[in-house]
Structure 1
Amino acid sequence: MPIAFDSIRRARPLLGTFVEIEVTTAAGPETDAAIDAAFEAIAEAHRLMSFHERDSDVSRLNRNSGIRPTRVHAWTFQVLEAAVEMHRRSGGIFDVTVAPVLQAMGLLPGLDGDPVIRPERRVTDAIELLPEQTVRFRSPAITIDLGGIAKGFAVDRGIEVLRGFDIPRGLINAGGDLRAFGQEPHMIHVRDPRDPSRSIGQVEVRDEALASSARRFDLMVGGGPSSSAVIDPQTQRPAGSIDGATIRAPSCMVADALTKVVMISGVGAGDLLAHYGASALLISVDGEVQITSDWPQAVHLAA
C-alpha cells in the first residue's frame, strides 16, 4: 500500500510559467527557508539565461559575443557546455542557435527592435567555449536561446538547494519540467498532447527528472494543436512527425534538452537516449504511443 505524505506546496511565476515546489511536512523547522532558497536559485538561473531580459547573460552574448569574447556566469557556462555537447552527440539536432527562426515565427522578440537576422547558412560549431567562462560566437549573425535546456537546469539547481537543507522528499515542477527525490515515488499525470484536458496515464518518478514537449495550443483560438515550437535546425521548420514527447532522465536539464531531439528524431534518438541514461514516451501524429523498453514498468497508461 502506498505511503500517504502530508506536504507543503508553494508556487511562484518564474521561467515563463508557474514553478511549484512541494516538500514533505517531515522536512523540519527550516522548511520555509529551504523553499525560499530554492526559489531564489531558480530565479537566479532565470535572470542569467532569459532571452527577454536585457541584462541577462544570454542577451549580452547575443549582442556582443559575435564581435568579441564575452564572460558569463558559471551557471550559464555550464548550460552552454551541456548544449554544445548535446549538439555534437545529436548530430546537430539539438541546436540553441535556432533563435532567429523562433523570432521569425513570433515566438521570441527581436533584439532591441532591430530586424531579425537569419543566417544564410548554419554555422558549424557556432559557439566557442574559452577559458575563464568566456564565450565567443563564430559569426555576428548567431543568436542563441537557451529556453530548451535552461528551465531544466533551473529545476536541478532548486533540487540541489532543497537537498542541502536535508529535505527528505520533494518535487519541483516548472510547467511540466520536473524533478523529484526521496524514497517513495511521485505519481505524475502525463497530458495528452492532442488534448491537454486529458491524461494519457501516470508515470512513477523517484530520484529522477521528467520533461515533456508537445505541439502548441492557442487557448484564445481553440481547436487542435498548432505547429510545434521545436525547430528542426536542418529544415528550419517546426518538427512535425511527433505530437508529444516525455523524457525520463537523471537530471532535468538533460530531460528538457532531450525532449527537443526526440520531437525531431522520434525513435531515431534511441542511441542518444541510451547515452544519457534516459527513457522516452512518444505520441505520434496518428495517436500511436511508443515507450522505450527500459521504462514500461513505471508507466501506467489510461484505458
Structure 2
Amino acid sequence: MQTVSLAREAMATRFELVLNGSDPVRLRSAGEGALDEVDRQEARLSLYRATSEISQVNRLAAGTPVTVSPPVFSLLEECVRLWQSTGGAFDITVAPLMRAWGFLRGTGRMPTEEAIMAARAKVGMQHIRLDAARRTVHFEREGMMLDLGAIGKGYAIDEAVGLLRDDGVVSAFFHGGTSTCYALGRPPAFSGWRTAITRDELGAPAARPASPPPEDPAPARETAVTVVELVDASLSVSAVKGKAFESDGRVYGHVIDPRTGWPVQGAQLAAVVGPGATKTDALSTALLVLGEPEMDRLAAAFPRYGFLSVTREPDGTERIRATEGFSRLHAVRSRIDPDPHE
C-alpha cells in the first residue's frame, strides 16, 4: 500500500490531501485533479476575485438579474434552504455587517450604532430573488453582497471528493485549513480516520488526522475536546477565535450574528459531523451563531448530522455538550457524554 501526500494554497488557507492505494502515479494524478477542482471553485465563488461569478453578482445584481452557472445557482439554492432551516443563523448576505465591523479585510473595529443599522438593512436572504427558469440572481436592495466563506470550502471539498471517487480512490483524507475535512473510506489497517478536535483557549479549531491514527492520537489530552473517527464522513469546526479586537474590556470576534448585527458571545467552538462537507461547513457556523440552547433544534432538522458545542460560562468554566448522534456515532475518546435529554 502506497501513500501520497499533496498540498496547495487556496481560498486563503492550505488544503492538504492524503491518499492511499497501490499505484502512487495514479494517486498523485487523482490528487492533483482534486486540488485543481478546489482552484476552479475558488475562481467561481471568491468574494475577493473580481472575475468570479460571485463578484459579478455583487457588482450587478442590485440593478439587473445576473445569470450564473448551473453549479453556482444550485449552491445558492442550497444556501437559501440552509438559511431557512437555521432560522437565519446561516446567511451568505452577512458581508455588509462584516465590513461595518472591520472584519471583511481587516482585524476589526467598533462601529457606530448607525453603521450597524445601515448594514443590517442590506442583510437577509429574503431580499434575494433566485429565478430557477432563467438561472438568475437579483438583489432587492442596493449594497447587498454575497460571501460564501462559511460554505465555500466545504462545497469545494465535496466536489473534489466526487472526482476522487470517479478516479477510483477509496482511501483519502482531505482538509481545508484544518477547519473542514472529509474522510474517504478508511486508512490502511485502521477502522477509520481518527481526527482530533482541538483548541487553544477554546479558540483555534483543528480537524486533522493523526497519521497513522494511533489508539490515543495527538494532540495531547489537555488540548483535545474530543477525538472522532470518520469513515465516508465530514467534520467541520468553527470558532470565535481568530480575527478579534478589544473595546472597553470586551473582546469582539469575527463571527457575526446576521440576525442581530453583533458578534457572537458565549459560544466558543462548534463542531458538526455528517455525510457532506457542504452542510457541515455551513452548520458549524450556524451552531456557533445559535449557541448550545438551539442545538437540539438543529439536530432535529438535520438528523444525519451530529453537533458539538463548547461554551465559556460567565464564571469562566467550560461547558461541552454534544448530541447523541455525535457522541454515539463518532466519538472515540472524549470529555463529553451524549445529551441526556435526547
Q: TM-score, normalised by structure 1?
A: 0.88
* One of 6, 9, 22 as aligned partner of 2:18: 22
Encode CA deviations 1:156-192: one digit per residue, 9 max, x unaligned. 0110011010001111100120111114410111112
One-letter amino acid of the structure 2 residue matched with residue 89 of structure 1? S
Which secondary structure does the structure 1 equivalent of 2:174 belong to? Answer: strand
Deviates more, 1:24-33 or 1:88-97: 24-33
Which secondary structure does the structure 2 equivalent of 1:12 belong to? Answer: strand
One-letter amino acid of the structure 1 residue matched with residue 184 of structure 2? F
Quote the residue 2:112 is aligned against: none
Quote the residue 2:30 is aligned against: 34
The CA distance in 2 between the partners of 1:129 and 1:269, in whole Å, is: 29
Encode CA deviations 1:43-88: one digit per residue, 9 max, x unaligned. 1111111111111111111110111010112222122111111111
Does the CA contact (< 8 Å) of 2:83 and 2:125 recur in 1?
Answer: no
The CA distance in 1 between the partners of 2:135 and 2:145, in whole Å, is: 18
Does the CA contact (< 8 Å) of 2:120 and 2:261 recur in 1?
Answer: no
Equivalent positions of 1:113-192 (< 5 A) are 118-120=119-121, 122-123=123-124, 125-130=126-131, 131-175=133-177, 176-183=179-186, 184-192=191-199
Change (3 A) 1:188 1:123: closer
Quote the residue 1:278 is aligned against: 305
Q: CA deviation at 1:294?
A: 1.6
The CA distance in 1 between the partners of 2:168 and 2:159, in whole Å, is: 15
The CA distance in 2 between the partners of 1:88 and 1:165, in whole Å, is: 35
* One of 220, 224, 227 as aligned partner of 1:202: 227
Deviates more, 1:175-184 or 1:121-130: 121-130
Quote the residue 1:90 is aligned against: 86
Change (3 A) 1:257 1:123: closer
The CA distance in 2 between the partners of 1:16 and 1:240, in whole Å, is: 25
- Establish whether residue 296 from structure 1 lines up as the match of residue 330 from structure 2: no
Q: TM-score, normalised by structure 2?
A: 0.78
Does the CA contact (< 8 Å) of 1:193 and 1:215 recur in 2?
Answer: no
- Establish whether residue 231 from structure 1 lines up as the match of residue 227 from structure 2: no
Encode CA deviations 1:127-152: one digit per residue, 9 max, x unaligned. 21112421111112211111011110
The CA distance in 1 between the partners of 2:122 and 2:67, in whole Å, is: 26
The CA distance in 2 between the partners of 1:152 and 1:27, in whole Å, is: 27
Does the CA contact (< 8 Å) of 2:123 and 2:144 recur in 1?
Answer: no
Identical counterparts, % of pairs = 24
Q: CA deviation at 1:260?
A: 1.4
Deviates more, 1:127-136 or 1:160-169: 127-136
Which secondary structure does the structure 2 equivalent of 1:262 belong to? Answer: helix
Quote the residue 1:12 is aligned against: 8
Which secondary structure does the structure 1 equivalent of 2:181 belong to? Answer: strand
Does the CA contact (< 8 Å) of 2:122 and 2:142 recur in 1?
Answer: no
Does the CA contact (< 8 Å) of 2:274 and 2:280 recur in 1?
Answer: yes
The CA distance in 2 between the partners of 1:59 and 1:109, in whole Å, is: 15
Change (3 A) 1:169 1:236: same
Quote the residue 2:66 is aligned against: 70
Which secondary structure does the structure 2 equivalent of 1:187 belong to? Answer: strand
Give structure 1 stretches of 5+ with no counterpart.
none
One-letter amino acid of the structure 1 residue matched with residue 61 of structure 2? S
Q: CA deviation at 1:258?
A: 0.4
Encode CA deviations 1:254-298: one digit per residue, 9 max, x unaligned. 001101111121231323333332111110013111011122132
One-letter amino acid of the structure 1 residue matched with residue 88 of structure 2? G
Does the CA contact (< 8 Å) of 2:237 and 2:272 recur in 1?
Answer: yes
Calculate the aligned-residue CA RMSD, in Å: 2.6
The CA distance in 2 between the partners of 1:20 and 1:97, in whole Å, is: 29
Does the CA contact (< 8 Å) of 1:213 and 1:260 recur in 2?
Answer: yes
Give the aligned length. Answer: 292
The CA distance in 1 between the partners of 2:251 and 2:13, in whole Å, is: 20
